[in-house]
Amino acid sequence: MVRWLWYLSLLLLGIGLVFYVSWAFLYNAWTDLGLYSITAPLVIFGILGLLLSRTQ
């Protein structure tokens, strides 16, 4: 049952990191607040999901 949470969390973490690096590289916007507002929830929920799936 917890396996789907691990995969979803890993997917969110990967999407967040790939999105940040690709957007910042394409538009040279490494310190853009809009970029942070999209990336931060993806990465945070990915990390928290991975931690949650390990505790169960």
Angstrom distance (rounded) from CA 9 to CA 21: 18
Residue 3 has what pLDDT? 87
Q: Model pTM?
A: 0.87
Angstrom distance (rounded) from CA 18 to CA 44: 14
Where along the chain do its domains lie?
A: 3-55
Residue 25 has what pLDDT? 95
Residue 2 has what pLDDT? 66
Higher pLDDT, 53 or 26: 26
Reduced to 3 states (helix: H, G, I; strand: E, B; else coil), residue 28 is: coil
Q: Give the tens place of pLDDT for each residue, 1-48.
A: 568 999 999 999 999 999 999 999 999 999 999 999 999 999 999 999
User: What burial letters (b/e) apply to 3-13, b meaning 16+ CB within 10 Å?
Assistant: eeeeeebeebb
Residue 29 has what pLDDT? 92
